[in-house]
Structure 1
Amino acid sequence: MGDSGTNGSHSVAALPTSPLLPIRTPRKAPADDPTADGEPVTPTARLMEPIYIVVTLGLGCPVNLPVFSAGIAAQLARYPRFCSIQVTDEANGGNPRWVRTVVNVDDHTIIPTLDPVAVAADPDRAVEDYLASLPALPMDRSRPLWEFHFLDFPTSEATSTAVIRVHHSLGDGTTLIALLLASARSAADPTRLPAMPEQPARTGAIYAPRPRSKGGVLAFLAWAWSYLVLAWNTMVDVTLFAATIAFLRDPHTPFKYVDHGAASSSRRRFVHQSLPLEDVKFIKNAMNCTVNDVLVGATSAALSRYFFRKSGANNTSKICLRSILLVDTRPTTSLQTYVDMIDSGKSNDVDWGNQLGYILLPFHLAMHDDPLAYVRKAKKTVDRKKSSLEVIFTCKMGESFLKMFGLKAGAFIFGRMFANTTLAFSNLVGPSEQIEFYGHPVVFIAPSVYGAPQALLVQCQSYNSNIMVSLSVDEEIIPDYIQLMDDFVESFGHIKDGASRLSTSVKQE
């Protein structure tokens, strides 16, 4: 991407649109390079070549670029992946590796030139249009693959906006968000890290064996039965995953490409809407489920509302779509560990990179008279998936195929998995209080993704007192994406009303 330092700017139209290619160079790494051994780019990271993570930050004050740039230089730019480029040496068999380079933060801070008339007329639309232009703008591969874009004008949500774009090879969404939060501080007390919600400690990757209950024969049989159910569910899920790669395809709906080869990142639109976390927890408590169950149920309700209005299908019809749920398979890591990693410039204590497992999560399209039916169905589906090692097997299967058959076979499997399903869904946990980045209070955090061959991607991010629902859509497939976002809000409202009636009836009883 073209330069844009603190004193310069560029227009979107002036940037080239050539495809990304690895840098080929015969040079050796500098003698003082701490990664002179040439840490290889993992095959999983290479699979992410077309995929980028975009995080929109609403700021509560105007951008102080010198202060923000100094903060980036002191923290984020010191992390090994953020100060390394991918180098492909012919002597190394053409396989890329990470090599340290000098980072000039000004090369990574971009202030675009926007039409002042358009900004004054509709600043929210100006931000949306700029975000939509990012997929068409290539990143400069001679520099580390991350950027900060600053839109220093007020919108209906924030005083200014910062947009972070990061290539997916640097890490998956979970670790990249954690790295960003490790660079943030509590707005209430800038001397400490952001407070995070309590999460169950996880010493293993995903699944912790169920402890054997003390008791007689019945307790032993119940314990043994849980493992039999786990084995059966895992076998079924892995078989369906393999069938999806081979031939099993979701039905055509307004959310899906007719031809998976028609995918294009240049038509992406990114929109978001916040939901009160208090309301989500109210529904969770009323229905004795989890926050994730509520979000999956609300997504199913929104997709159903949009589908039946768009297709004109009979309201008694029922359709099952599948989402790819991306799951981080690492043990839980504290923010302080990431801070120590940044300070030391070494990533030995952090299991970095893209370590993802995949779950094929069904989404049911139906018109229910009771809006709580969507959450009940979501809970049943998610509970069933929790009693399965699908995520572990899919992670290991992907790694094994890459090792045995190479990158092309892995890319084929990766592409088929996305092409034969309908959408991708993720849910990230964020700080439970307001934070600030380098003296800039953060009003909202809205992560998203582009580059995956799907027309619809849904990301949820909790932050402070809200949960942000972000949609990444192909506007040619879903041109009325604003209506789809409105369907989320309306469906969630109906579910909340249903939970209120349920709570009232329980109290009366």
Structure 2
Amino acid sequence: MTKEEEEPLSPMARIFQSSGTDYCTVITIGFKTKINSDVVLDDLKQNVSKHPRISSKLPIGLAKDFLFTHPINHTAHWAYDLIGPTGARWIKTEINVEDHVYVQDIDPDEIGDQGDKFVEDYISRLTTLPLDRSRPLWDIHILNVKTSDAEAVGVIRSHHSLGDGMSRMSLIMACTHKTSDPEALPTIPILKRRENVSDGLRDTGWFLRSMVAIYATVRLICNTIVDLLLLLATVLFLKDTETSLKGGAEAESNPRRFSHRIVSLDDIRIIKDVMDMTINDVLLGVTQAALSRYINGAYVKTNEQGGTSTPLLNNISCNIRVRAGVLINLRSEFGIQPLADMMAKESKCRWGNHINIVVLPLSIGLETDPLVYLSKAKSSMDRKKNSLHAPILYSILSFILTVFGAKIGAALFKRVLLSTTACISNVNGPTEEISFHGHPIAYINPSVYGHPQALMIHLQSYADKMVISIAVDSTIIPDPHKLCDEMEESLKSMKTALVEKGLVKM
């Protein structure tokens, strides 16, 4: 193996695959037709070797082997940490596609109308089966079973160290074509940054522009300092309130259950335009409203067991602390980029895990006006946009990984996740319906498992839809469908409130 064939792991990739950490992604793709497995295999045989990360594996050194066979041996732990930051590299390898594709023999009569449950159970079992580290860290599962949203389902499982959500969505779009034009590749969504205050002052005097720039700089510095101090407190002692959503260290190894709900992207855009905010602001507002309703319902259930029922009252303490780790894309290029650009050397939108996490406080409590959740969400998001929390934390983690090793860096990262309640991610998808070799796609539903939080919320746009994906530790959150219901109901209540105020016509 030549050196040119090897590529070092990025800082976040080293964290995701370090000792005691095993973060994996699951992308569930619903198709409008049954899946021809021969077409999938033929495409993979032709193209998988062209992608260096998908056709590479991680080395399994003697120290790592010894660590797994002698877990209490401290010398092995020390040796493995040395391998992490200095020697962990992707190694190009020969790949046998048949080893990575699983076609399940399913009897439709046996499943009946329980297709959704069958798929959920199947994916949940996958979260208990580790990927084979002796070969590239991905597999594909073909389930020709009818569900409420699709005629068949394909499940793509891969290790998070291979790449983040932007990377994976770029790969999916490179492998598909427009349904309306089978010869054309999907349109790359163009995202525009919102105009900031200084942009609106271009035609004003230099003194006013200078004062605004000074104010913005001071605010950026102050917000960054406060965020870093809060982050340090989170690592050391500051933890979220124990609620019906809060997980713990055991959650990362417990099986996960996945549920999703498809809502109208047009409804979200209507709310965005009327409230003068971004789609991310609307989604955060909907999430805050849904989690508030869910937590309040859990308190109501507890009261009912004690002989008291107060379903219409706010049973949530005003001192409750609920925070989410929100994944942030650190690339200088905004949104999804073409795969060729992401694979090019020295690219500004490089393939990989160019992400980090910001800790975002959530406003939890019942509001009589659902639009209050939106205004609070916009305020929180605007403040986080005026902070360098994410890039500075990325630099700090890179330094820790280089000096102290992957195990220490991963432990600090995990401390942040253990102290918060949920993880939230949002990725933009294709703007029109796409197909994979004649298989029209009904929806794309990504998620993650292996983290210590009991709740993961992933939001994925696709054509005129928004897919809300909920992944939970079922020992803590037994019914993810309930959370999906609350998300859908919260979105409806916000649109209804705008209609009642005369701001939107049905």
Query: Is TM more than 0.5 here?
Result: yes
Q: What does the per-residue CA deviation read over 1:115-161, in whole Å, with 9 as the maximum and x for residues that have no partner?
A: 75652241111111111111111222222111111001222211111
Partner of 1:127: 119
Q: Give the aligned residue type for 1:150.
A: I
Partner of 1:186: 178
SS in 2 for 1:150: strand
Cα drift, residue 218 of structure 1: 2.8
Cα drift, residue 438 of structure 1: 2.4
Partner of 1:308: 296
Partner of 2:274: 286
Cα drift, residue 190 of structure 1: 2.1
Between 1:96-105 and 1:412-421, the stretch displaced more is 96-105
Cα drift, residue 42 of structure 1: 3.5
Partner of 1:10: none
Partner of 1:45: 13
Q: Is the 8 A contact 2:176 2:435 kept in 1?
A: yes
Q: Is the 8 A contact 1:322 1:360 kept in 2?
A: yes
Q: What does the per-residue CA deviation read over 1:223-247, in whole Å, with 9 as the maximum and x for residues that have no partner?
A: 2111111111111111111111111
Cα drift, residue 335 of structure 1: 6.7
> Structure 1 unaligned runs (5+)?
1-28
The answer to whether the aligner puts 1:322 opposite 2:323 as a matched pair is yes
Q: Is the 8 A contact 1:158 1:443 kept in 2?
A: yes
The whole-number CA distance in structure 1 between the counterparts of 2:177 and 2:415 is 41
- CA distance 1:335–1:437, change in 2 (3 Å): farther
Which consecutive aligned stretches of 4+ in structure 1 deviate over 6 angstroms post-superposition? 207-212, 333-336
Cα drift, residue 391 of structure 1: 1.3
Between 1:50-59 and 1:182-191, the stretch displaced more is 182-191
The whole-number CA distance in structure 1 between the counterparts of 2:137 and 2:281 is 35
Q: Give the aligned residue type for 1:231.
A: I
Q: Give the aligned residue type for 2:165.
A: G
- CA distance 1:269–1:90, change in 2 (3 Å): closer
Partner of 1:456: 455
- CA distance 1:475–1:393, change in 2 (3 Å): same
**Count of matched residue pairs:** 465
Partner of 1:68: 40
Cα drift, residue 403 of structure 1: 1.5
The whole-number CA distance in structure 1 between the counterparts of 2:108 and 2:98 is 24
The whole-number CA distance in structure 2 between the counterparts of 1:114 and 1:497 is 43
- How do 1:38-187 and structure 2 match up within 5 A? 38-49=6-17, 50-89=22-61, 94=83, 95-113=87-105, 118-187=110-179
Cα drift, residue 428 of structure 1: 0.6
- CA distance 1:506–1:165, change in 2 (3 Å): closer
The whole-number CA distance in structure 2 between the counterparts of 1:409 and 1:53 is 23
Q: Give the aligned residue type for 2:32.
A: G
Given candidates 209, 228, 239, the residue that maps to 1:238 is 228
Cα drift, residue 250 of structure 1: 0.7
- CA distance 1:64–1:201, change in 2 (3 Å): same
- CA distance 1:505–1:99, change in 2 (3 Å): closer
The whole-number CA distance in structure 2 between the counterparts of 1:381 and 1:110 is 44
The normalised TM-score by structure 2 is 0.86
Q: What does the per-residue CA deviation read over 1:386-426, in whole Å, with 9 as the maximum and x for residues that have no partner?
A: 11111111111111121222122101101101000110001
Cα drift, residue 338 of structure 1: 1.2
Q: Give the aligned residue type for 1:68.
A: V
Cα drift, residue 114 of structure 1: 5.0
The whole-number CA distance in structure 2 between the counterparts of 1:139 and 1:373 is 44
Given candidates 183, 188, 197, the residue that maps to 1:196 is 188
The answer to whether the aligner puts 1:219 opposite 2:205 as a matched pair is no
SS in 2 for 1:397: helix
Cα drift, residue 385 of structure 1: 0.9
Cα drift, residue 497 of structure 1: 0.5
Q: What does the per-residue CA deviation read over 1:333-380, in whole Å, with 9 as the maximum and x for residues that have no partner?
A: 7877414777xxx75646222122221111111111101111111011
Cα drift, residue 330 of structure 1: 1.1
Partner of 1:352: 351
SS in 1 for 2:290: helix
The whole-number CA distance in structure 1 between the counterparts of 2:239 and 2:439 is 46
Partner of 2:67: none
Partner of 1:22: none
Cα drift, residue 209 of structure 1: 9.5
Q: Is the 8 A contact 2:106 2:143 kept in 1?
A: no
The whole-number CA distance in structure 1 between the counterparts of 2:102 and 2:346 is 31
The whole-number CA distance in structure 2 between the counterparts of 1:334 and 1:71 is 27
SS in 2 for 1:399: helix
Cα drift, residue 489 of structure 1: 1.1
- CA distance 1:498–1:334, change in 2 (3 Å): closer
- How do 1:381-396 and structure 2 match up within 5 A? 381-396=380-395
Q: Give the aligned residue type for 1:310.
A: A
- CA distance 1:492–1:211, change in 2 (3 Å): closer
Cα drift, residue 452 of structure 1: 0.6
Partner of 2:307: none
The answer to whether the aligner puts 1:443 opposite 2:445 as a matched pair is no
- How do 1:384-423 and structure 2 match up within 5 A? 384-423=383-422
The whole-number CA distance in structure 2 between the counterparts of 1:298 and 1:153 is 31
Cα drift, residue 463 of structure 1: 0.3
Cα drift, residue 74 of structure 1: 2.5
Partner of 1:485: 484
Partner of 1:297: 285
Aligned identity (percent) is 37
- CA distance 1:74–1:211, change in 2 (3 Å): farther
- CA distance 1:97–1:506, change in 2 (3 Å): closer
RMSD: 2.6
The normalised TM-score by structure 1 is 0.85
Q: Is the 8 A contact 1:244 1:420 kept in 2?
A: yes
Q: What does the per-residue CA deviation read over 1:137-195, in whole Å, with 9 as the maximum and x for residues that have no partner?
A: 12222221111110012222111110100111111122122122122211111222212
